[in-house]
Structure 1
Amino acid sequence: MKNNLEYRGVIRLCLLYICFLVPPPYFAHFPHGHCFNSFSKLDTQQQHQISGTVTDNYGPMPGVHVLIKGSNTGTFTDANGEYSLLVNNRDFLVYSYLGYHTRELPVLGRTNLDVEMQSEVTELQEVEVNAGYYTVKEKERTGSISRVTTAEIELQPIVSPLEALQGRMAGVEVVQSAIPGTATSIRIRGQNSLRNALDDNGNLPLYIIDGLPINSSPIYSFSGLTSLTGLDPLNTLNLSNIESIEILKDADATSIYGSRGANGVILITTKRGKNYEKRTDMEVRLYSGIGKVSNTMDLLNTEQYLALRREAFDNDGVTPTEVNARDLLLWNQDSYTDWQKELFGGTAVVTNLNLAVAGSTENTSFRLGGSYHNAGNVFPGDFDYDKLTVGLNLDHRSKNDKFRMNLSLNYGIDNNDLFSSTNYVDLALSLSPNAPELYTPDGQLNWENSTWTNPLATLNNSSRAKANNLVSNLGLSYQLTSGLLLKANMGYTSLESEEKVKTPIRSYDPALWDRISHRSLHSYTKRKSWILEPQLVHNLSVGKAKLDALVGLTFQQSNNNDLRIIGTGYADEQFIGNLAAADRVTVTSNQNPTYKYNALFARIGFNWNAKYFINLTGRRDGSSRFGADKRFANFGAIGGAWIFSEENFIKNNLPFLSFGKFRGSYGVTGSDQIGDYGYLDTYEATPGPGGLYPTGLRNPDYSWESNRKLEATVELGLFRDRVNLGTSWYRNRSSNQLVGYPLPATTGFSLVQANLPATVQNTGWEFELSSLIVRSDHFNWRTSLNLTIPDNKLLDFPDLEQTSYRNLYRVGKPLNIALLYQYDGIDTETGFQRVLDVNEDGRYDYDDRIIVTDLGREYYGGINNEITIKNFSLTFLWEFVKQDGYLPGSSAPGRFGNSPKDYSKVQNGTIENSERPVASQSITAFRAYRNAQSSNFGIGDASFIRLKTLALSYDLPKALFHNNAARACKIFLHAQNLFTITDYKGLDPQFPGAKVLPAIRNLSCGVQFNF
């Protein structure tokens, strides 16, 4: 407890201040000389003893440094938190302790001065966390919510905000392609659905920006570089405009979103104006940098490659000809090209400019921000990605503070000019090292007498994908009575994307020009949606009890238009793209579905004495994607928490425990993430006039997926919250799987929408540790660790062997498995690799694939460090993953096309002890090699540790800006993917087995001014 003398001292100072400032007539209200007599009695020179006790929320604090300001005289509190010091009345005492706010108090004649310290770390427990429809203090939340802030996002040279999540959160897997603009793959606590996420979003989480749900499914692209994942609609968000990203994981946190929260919820909150400070601030940030691929493979050089090829011909007893050995007979035997350097060894330049203005009047605050981002690429050609964004947040309140309004507008335009119908990475790994030169001496594309396909021919193509994206939300609230609030959220989104690809015949070998024609590809995507959510919020406090309740309605509708067209037969290259000039126009896809969604939701949160918490959430959903009898479903959850560190028996017996909480939850969420109108017979118009043909079979009986989530967690704060530990166990079971059930070809349909009686289970452990290692006036060091140990399995699938999924899954095994042959070494007779023919029927099929290998992550996580030394700040993040994966594939030893350098060890002759097969280009050797690659021989360790981000910044001394317009300036250096520690032999262990661009090693520097 604070001593009354402390308050008296403060009051005396205030009275003295008033005596000097109050006009003379007001002195009549005081006895003559009263203000000065009280203080004049203090002898400022005479020393006396002062003592006291230093405490915090958990009791006495030993080891607190008590110093007389401006001197070297001081002491430390003893084991009981007590101190004693010889002082003058004019002295000020400074109380400091690592991890606590420093306090400075005057002596003012006191002989006893008790002080209560406030922990800086404990303040983290007071942070308000966005839980979607409500906010909750970090220490009081009953659900599983992870959070990253603007400091971890805004300075990274990335395009999508989801990229900033890699390695920072337990239970969240993020994989990002190195191609700017491509969609990010994200999984929250594993894969719940048997469906492929790119096809029908069965595993995508729900994305909400400022309270507005958006359609985040990837946008289709013709580009060979982006077709694997599609284009990311989140690209048009300004990273510098994001305040925080919260990930909702368990049932307690997600069930209020009902069917939309089965795969987790990602809440993106944008920055708002500074409230009621009656000033305007401006922020200007500029950075630029360069990037190169972080890794290349060690391939055969020309000498090694040609030797292996000749050996293969010798082993096969085949004579090389110009047809089967153009690399040996037609191409330069002394030429060497590093195709990795040539095709993806360029330098990618990134530039970003961000401007923001924020301010407020007495009742209105605003923030207006805009940015420009440009990212190049490492491929040949002048292609790049750029985007322009603008965001406005406006908050207003009435004078009586009953009415509040907040408006959020985010608009972005992006242009993606990264088209290529060629996979440059695949070509770079497979082209012969003595393949012809790319250009002839006169600067034309070299076709080497039609003996190869020039990889740069696609540079003659032109492509541009453009997108305009508006996300707007208006929130209104009115305080009806004390504790009763009426709210309404209204939102509108509009995304329009257009991609046009022009393919002239110049992109092909001139020898083929008389057999092909000019062509264009067109893709149009329009997504528009609106939402209205009226809500009633009630807060009630009675004694130690506190009740928070809300009830609301959701009305949502979206229209998604997708149109894809191919135009061919243009008479001249100048007409390409004008469909009216095409000889033939083919519509490959034309979809215009409307989705309607309504819901009733409610929440009741109760806590007693800020120690015991119960949270009840429920939602009744209605979706237009189901038949009339299956349209509605109920979802809900219960969550509870107990802050046991507030109990007296804990405080008295466990003094090192500063915070402790148990929490748990159980609930049911669902999913309707399937195509529209699947419960109806569907038809499309025939190419000719007056006809229809069926495209889908009706099934009015399929219904919602169900996801049951269970979680238990313990959170601990140790040694006055210097160390914080959280441990969670979770179990999610997704059943009644909504899939496209395959049909025999004789039916005329490929599949029908249906529920499968399969159950997918995700269990796991999540660990989060943070520690304030060092805290002082000039040096601070905070570190954090997150670790996830997941376990995914197909828990149940009745009659699996009778379905078309029998060659994809196994009951009791993860969904991400590989069914493999058993490798049986080198055949001593043929010298080729061999796999086991289990049933000895003379052929290799799925009956022989007896090895089941989990290709998912065994564990993953990240280690983050934040170090500040005076004005310098250093942060770095390590991402680590333990997993197995496919080894990099290549041509069989001796066949046409380059191979990893290990294949240079292939030898003819004695093969019993050889680890490699003999070189051969025969079909028998090819089949043997292909089978070996599909066996456990083709699987290896793809684990890695990667220095994901490193940032160094320096805040210039504020004294430099005393008379300048700028108030502060920061210089920063940022690096990504500096190096990776791994035994994986491929390009990137993040994509084992895939021939995709490895992570870009990026280095950028910039400056930020605040005015």
Structure 2
Amino acid sequence: MNRIRLFLMLLASVIALTAQGQTRQVTGRVFSGTDKSPLPGVSVVLKGTTTATATDNDGKFTLAVPASGDGVLVFSSIGYDATEARLGSGSTVDVTLKEKTTALNDVVVVGYGTQRKRDVTGSVASVTAEQVAETPIARADQILQGRVSGVQVTQTNSEPGGNVSIRIRGTNSINSGNEPLFVVDGFPGAGDLNSINPSDIESIEVLKDASATAIYGSRGANGVVIITTKKGKAGKNTISFEAYTGISNVRKKYDLMNAPQFASYLNDVQTLNNLENKTTTALPYTQQQIAAMDKGTDWQDAIFRQGRMSNYQLGFNGGNEDTRYNLSFNYFDQQGIILNSGFQRGSVRLNLDKKVSNKINVTFSSQISRTLQKITSVNTNGGSNGGVVLDALRFSPIQPVKDANGDYTFQNQPLPAVEIAGNPVAYAKGSRDNLTTLRGLLNLAGEYQIIEGLKLRIAAGADLFNNQRNQYIPSTVYVGQNTNGSATKASVNNYSWLNENTLTYDRKLNENNALNVVAGLTFQQFVNENYSASANNFFTNALGSDNIGIGANVLTPVSGKNANTLASYFGRVNYRLFERYLFTFTMRADGSSRFGPNNKWGYFPSAAFAYRVIDEPFMQGITSISDLKLRASYGITGNQEIGSYQSLGRYGLNAYTSGTTRLVGLSASNIPNPDLSWESTAASDFGVDIAFLKNRISVTADYYFKKTKDLLLQVSVPQTSGFSNILQNAGSVQNKGFEFSLNTVNFDSKKFSWNTNLNFSLNRNKVLDLNGEFQRFVGQSSTSIFPGATGATSVLRVGEPIGSFFGYQFLGIWQTPEEITASGITNVVRPGDPRYADLNGDKKIDANDRTIIGRAQPKFIYGITNGFNFGPVGLNIFIQGVQGSDVLNLNRYELESGFTTTNKLATVVNRWTGPGTSNTIPKANSVVRRNTGITSDIVENGSFVRLKTATISFKLPLPETVTGTVKSASIYVTGQNLITITKYSGYDPEVNSFGNSGLSLNTDYNAFPSTRTFIAGVKIGF
């Protein structure tokens, strides 16, 4: 029995050993779940053993496994979720790996392609569709304000449809453009964002360093903003609807004199004039008249109203694996806070993606839009500066809006005691100035996969843009009385045609090497056509500008046309070694018709390196750090915004009348410059991306240095040439700065979550060279500054930043004749006049005593966003701040000095009336400031902290009866510009009345006031 047992045991052992020695071969392929491409270098392990292999370049593998048993294979690769597959009786196992759903694997759009965020070597910031949807906005670029480090967004004009100014890492240019290049769905140069519906946006990428922007060559120096609109998604078709409505009110008003105060002021002016001129002119008002006055007209209240806005968005999205679509309709209507101001936009967008075959894909993106802007910026006395706002501030509060007959008060009274001006309410309601824009933005692209990993893309696009401006000033308002009504009709047609041809090779060569190469050839042409016609002396105001032929005096029409072409070659190589060493090399060659004959081509290279330290083996045990990447880049980019034909000799029109015959001739208008070329910016960047605690805390920090040379400057030439200057490439500017952004997940649970995003930026700008000159005077000023005073408000000075305000240092008020005599000052001044610093000590105040009295560019800017979710309730709070910037308040100049016969600030009631009465406000009839120009007391601290937006939302619970139809529903309430903490005395410290001009930064003159807005809306998904 024992022998039998022993025999059986030996037999079982032999059988077991025999079975163990028998194996079978399992083969298969591993594919990417993103694009179905084979994945090389994937680890394949038999679970619970050391048996393992890896996929080859075609994603194939072979593994010997035990002949018996149904084990489990584990597939894993960096950047993908591990996947398990159970072995059956078969010999083939094919699997698909899904990319890890982490922020590092998010795809960001870069020039002419996309990249995983983990692989980006340059400085690129992203704003997602979710962030765009957090706050209702009128313009797409407004979402960048305070949300992206290194980007300063300024609302230069708060009028509905008004523009914003964007500076990415400082001001590079003096006379050329400083705005970034906008790329919409791959179409570069699509810069008018008023017509882009923000709700259509999927993402916004901001390319900041030369590594990211050099692919755009001569247009990349100011940074690049890439806007990608929503595409169709395969799956069930969806319908989305959003609607909101809101009200707006002026956020702040100036405190002005009322009627009795202004009457007393006018009497004071005349009394002082009589004393100084030894005249006996009667005072404008008697004491009995003043005593009988009420507070009079508040002209700010008269022109302001409660603004209203509404927005409606309807979207359709869906498709299958072969055909995907996104169709949207939008209507936006904003009624401004000033009478007759407003903005309307209607748009239709259709994006299609079609998989024609396994090798051919076609994409089509399109938008057709129409906008209407009602403008109120022309002033009521016919001047080029000023407007309804400024005239409302200056108009006499003694005058009523309407007279006893119910007609509008025609003009300011009594003359000559007051400044002549028209009734701003009558002008705002009676005149018309409408700007209508019709735009079509179309882009069609086909993509052909030549071989695996190699794709050819051919795209053709067009940006068709037509502006129609219709302006009519009737004879019933003061401005139109002299011309008996005047009309202007103008049209601008801009056409841009684009052809792009690119080859992309994207291949993971093996487990340790990956390559992405892009090469391209593009052509783009820009055409501008414009005309305008004007007439006056109309026998009726009924037709406005619809029939300018009925004007008895038809003025000479004006028309013009210009065009420029850009041809480009470019290439970029991205090489990834061991998944942690990242290299990028870029080169672009631009040939532009704008450049001179001797400089037709510009070349713009860049290189970047990134080191993913986190993927080193020695980092695997440091669990507190979840990501760490170091970046460095250097490159050269350009700015070709020099205008068409600037390098060529041009001729201007000369016309005069001999008898009744109009004679027309031409004459040279400039000196040609065959060497004229682009402005060139060399930039370096050093950055770090680091995350902690499983990405709950992530930090991005960058230091950059930029030098722009070959600035476009007007250089003086001898008068014997027949001209005073020539446009040349001369001079240089420097920008250097630091950026920091912090994202934290403070709490994250089903019941409560809290996220914080913070960004901080500082930039230091400095003029390095002005073609050998030490300084130049620039900037625009108030219309009431005495013509003998310099009109310049700023100085370009070597060693100082662009935007340096230049003028006289205000020291107070001259109090007594003895004080004037003791000072030795030789200027004609009297007690009650302002006193200025004699910086050179020559006992006279003149242009040599001017100095830098403020700086427009801020010391730093920041933004903080906090998002909270309490179950179905969401709360989003956004705070924006600017620190260390100054604002030139020309409105205050007008309202404290300026014309002595216009209304003033209420503080002027406490003006100087005798020794010791005031050391800040001059006497009533002082004209010294008007004769002097810009002074330090009207340069104010423009720093501010603003609760920019606060939104509370609620996801509505859906009854079971509708859940099959309605997928989601929510309501929300948003407040904008709720609280602003600032020392600035004007309407708003965020201002630039002269638009995107780099030479008149932070100048407040007749700016449309900012508003406080409340919005309520609803979102429904089907």
> Residue 924 of structure 2 aligns with which residue?
920
CA gap of 1:666–1:340, structure 2 versus 1, over 3 A, is farther
2: distance between equivalents of 1:745 and 1:346? Answer: 54
Q: Is the contact between residue 826 and residue 916 of structure 1 (CA under 8 Å) also seen in structure 2? A: yes
Q: Distance in 2 between matches of 1:994 and 1:579?
A: 32
Equivalent position of 1:491 in the other structure: 461
**Cα offset, 1:845, TM superposition:** 3.7
Query: Which residue number corresponds to residue 502 of structure 2?
Result: 535
Provide Cα deviations, 1:704-729, integer angstroms capped at 9, x if missing partner: 21110111011110122111111111
Query: TM-score of the superposition, structure 2-length normalised?
Result: 0.80
Q: How far apart are residue 303 of structure 1 and its match?
A: 4.4
Q: Residue 553 of structure 1 aligns with which residue?
A: 521
Q: CA deviation at 1:1001?
A: 0.8
Residue of structure 1 equivalent to 2:448? 478
Conservation of the 8 A alpha-carbon contact between 1:715 and 1:724: yes
* Partner in structure 1 of residue 799 of structure 2: 812
Per-residue deviation, residues 769-805 of structure 1 (Å, max 9, x unmatched): 1100001111110001001111011022342148777
The equivalences for 1:625-644 within 5 A come to 625-644=594-613
Asked whether the 8 Å contact 1:886–1:940 carries over to 2, the reply is: yes
Separation (CA, whole Å) in 1 of partners of 2:556 and 2:803: 35
Give the match for residue 606 of structure 1: 575
Equivalent residue, structure 1, for 2:1020: 1009
2:952 corresponds to: 952
Shift of 1:412: 0.4
**Which moves more between the two structures, 850-859 or 387-396?**
850-859
Aligned equivalents of 2:603 and 2:568: distance in 1?
10
1:297 aligns with 2:254: yes
Amino acid at match of 1:522: K
Secondary structure in 2 matching 1:890: helix
Q: 2:431 aligns with which of 441, 455, 461?
A: 461
Query: Which 5+ residue runs of structure 2 have no aligned equivalent?
Result: 1-42, 50-67, 84-97, 380-386, 415-420, 656-661, 779-791, 817-830, 992-1001
Asked if the contact 2:774/2:798 (under 8 Å) is kept, the reply is: no
2:285 matches 1:285: no
Q: How does 1:405-804 map to 2 (within 5 A)?
A: 405-422=362-379, 423-433=387-397, 435-447=398-410, 451=414, 453-458=422-427, 459-508=429-478, 513=481, 515-540=482-507, 541-574=509-542, 576-577=544-545, 578-587=547-556, 589-652=558-621, 654-687=622-655, 688=662, 691-741=665-715, 749=723, 751-756=725-730, 758-801=731-774
Alignment-derived partner of residue 347 in structure 2: 389
Partners of 2:692 and 2:520 lie apart in 1 by 40
The amino acid across from 1:184 in the alignment is: V
Classify the secondary structure of the residue corresponding to 1:240.
helix
Moved more, 248-257 or 835-844: 835-844
Summarize the Cα distance change of 1:464–1:884 in structure 2 as closer, same or farther, 3 Å threshold. Answer: closer
| 1:109-188 mapped onto 2 (5 Å cutoff) | 123-154=102-133, 156-176=135-155, 177-188=157-168
Distance 1:559 1:332 in 2: 64
Q: How do 1:903-942 and structure 2 match up within 5 A?
A: 903-911=908-916, 914-921=918-925, 925-928=926-929, 931=932, 934-942=934-942
Cα RMSD after superposing both structures: 3.2
1:243 lines up with 2:211 in the alignment: no
Paired residue type of 2:171: Q
Tell me, yes or no, if structure 1 residue 203 matches structure 2 residue 178. yes
Stretches of structure 1 that go unaligned for 5 or more consecutive residues are 8-30, 39-54, 59-100, 104-117, 196-200, 217-232
1:677 is displaced (CA, Å) by: 1.0
1:917–1:972: structure 2 CA closer, same or farther, 3 Å change rule?
closer
Q: How many Å apart are 1:175 and its aligned residue?
A: 1.2
Structure 1 CA distance, aligned partners of 2:265 and 2:720?
49
Q: Which residue matches 2:293?
A: 334
Is the contact between residue 293 and residue 344 of structure 1 (CA under 8 Å) also seen in structure 2? no
> How far apart are 1:171 and its partner, in Å?
1.0
Residues 1:320 and 1:892: Cα distance change in structure 2 (over 3 Å)? farther
SS at match of 1:130: strand
**Is the alpha carbon distance of 1:374 and 1:749 closer, same or farther for their aligned partners in structure 2, counting shifts above 3 Å?**
farther
Please tell me the residue identity of whatever aligns with 1:254. Answer: T
| C-alpha distance after superposition, 1:201-226 (max 9, x if no partner) | 5212111110011352xxxxxxxxxx
The residue matched to 2:750 in structure 1 has which SS?
Answer: coil
Describe the superposition over 1:481-535 as per-residue Cα deviations: whole angstroms up to 9, x where unpaired.
Answer: 11111111211110011101112211228xx94x433211122110111111111
Quote the residue 2:837 is aligned against: 836
Aligned counterparts of 1:281 and 1:840: Cα–Cα separation in 2: 77
Residues 322, 330 of structure 1: 8 Å contact kept: no
Tell me the CA shift for residue 625 of structure 1: 0.7
CA deviations 1:667-687 (Å, max 9, x no partner) are 001121111111222224544
The answer to whether the Cα contact below 8 Å between 2:260 and 2:291 also exists between their aligned partners in 1 is no
**CA positional deviation for 1:420:** 4.9
Contact kept, 8 Å, 1:306 with 1:328, in 2: the verdict is: no
Contact 1:148 1:246 in 2 (8 A): yes
Q: How far apart, CA to CA, are the structure 2 residues paired with 1:587 and 1:441?
A: 41
Over 3 Å counting, the alpha-carbon distance change for 1:193 and 1:1002 in structure 2 is same
CA offsets, 1:721-778, max 9 Å, x none?
Answer: 111111111111110012344668876556532212x110111110101100001111
TM-score (norm 1): 0.81
Partners in 1 of 2:625 and 2:197 — Cα distance? 41
1:850 to 1:963, Cα distance in 2 relative to 1, 3 A: closer
Cα distance, 1:285–1:684 mapped onto 2, change above 3 Å: same
**Partner SS state of residue 425, structure 1:** helix
Residue identity in the other structure for 2:798:
V
**Partner deviation per Cα, 1:113-134 (whole Å, 9 max, x = no partner):** xxxxx999x8112111111211
Higher mean Cα deviation, 681-690 or 693-702? 681-690
Whichever residue aligns with residue 860 of structure 1, its letter is I
**Hey, what's the Cα distance between the residues in 1 that align with 2:44 and 2:214?**
44
Query: Is the CA contact 2:809–2:853 (under 8 Å) kept in the aligned structure 1?
Result: no
Distance 1:903 1:677 in 2: 51
Deviations 1:799-842 (A, max 9, x none): 21487779721111001101222333332321322112334556
Q: How many residues align?
A: 874
Q: Deviations over 1:892-937 (max 9, x none)?
A: 46943333333333353432x843345231xxx2214764x73333
Identity fraction in percent:
28
1:935 & 1:460 partners in 2: Cα distance? 37
Of the structure 1 ranges 962-971 and 641-650, higher mean CA displacement relative to structure 2 is found in: 962-971
Structure 2: how far apart are the matches of 1:582 and 1:864?
56
Amino acid at match of 2:465: L
1:286/1:729 Cα in 2 relative to 1: closer, same or farther (>3 Å)?
same
Q: Secondary structure of 1:432's partner?
A: coil
Matched residue of 2:160: which SS? Answer: coil
Deviations 1:523-572 (A, max 9, x none): 21101111111111112322301111011001111111122332223344
CA deviation after TM superposition for structure 1 residue 957, in Å: 2.2
CA contact (8 A) 2:529 2:562 kept: yes
CA separation of 1:673/1:622 partners in 2, compared to 1, >3 Å: closer, same or farther? same
Q: Distance in 1 between matches of 2:287 and 2:591?
A: 67
Q: How much does 1:306 deviate?
A: 4.3
Indicate if the aligned counterparts of 2:297 and 2:401 stay in contact, CA closer than 8 A. Answer: no
**1:302–1:333: 8 Å Cα contact kept in structure 2?**
no
